[in-house]
Amino acid sequence: METEETIPKSPLQEMSMDFAVRIVTLARELRSGPKEYALADQVLRSGTSIGANLAEATFAASRKEFLLKCKIALKECSETRFWLDLLARASIFPASRLAPLRATCTDLLRMLAATCKTTQERLSAQ
């Protein structure tokens, strides 16, 4: 039986892992500053949950379960974008330093939305 280590990761999975690593770094920086622990925890939870849900989707028992995990990842990605926008608008973290993370988050949103749409269409065609 194949394990997750022997199955090549999709570009979406790789991108979500790289994004999660960057979110962990951001959360560390937020915690080292003026006590932004609550916001650091929120962005950390949602930003790392994207990849975790995609990892679960890899071994989904059905296409329906795969779609559910992808939709959860999409929701978590949308929440992460909210926290990144809040950090920038509230001047808690420099917007210029958040811009690359926000751009990646938007790319992930587009890819996840497309994956959900395609999977839903395939389920409906059955």
* Domain residue extents for the chain: 11-125
User: What is d(CA 107, CA 15) in angstroms, rounded to the nearest whole number?
Assistant: 9
pLDDT at position 4 over 70 = no
Predicted pLDDT at 35: 73
Report pLDDT digits (tens) over 19-73: 999 999 999 999 987 778 899 999 999 999 999 999 999 999 999 999 999 999 9
Tokens of 69: 């995990």
CATH code reported for the domain at 11-125: 1.20.1440.60
Report pLDDT digits (tens) over 87-120: 999 999 999 999 999 999 999 999 999 999 999 9
Cβ neighbours of 65 (radius 10 Å) = 13
**Residue 76 φ/ψ, nearest 5 degrees:** -65, -35
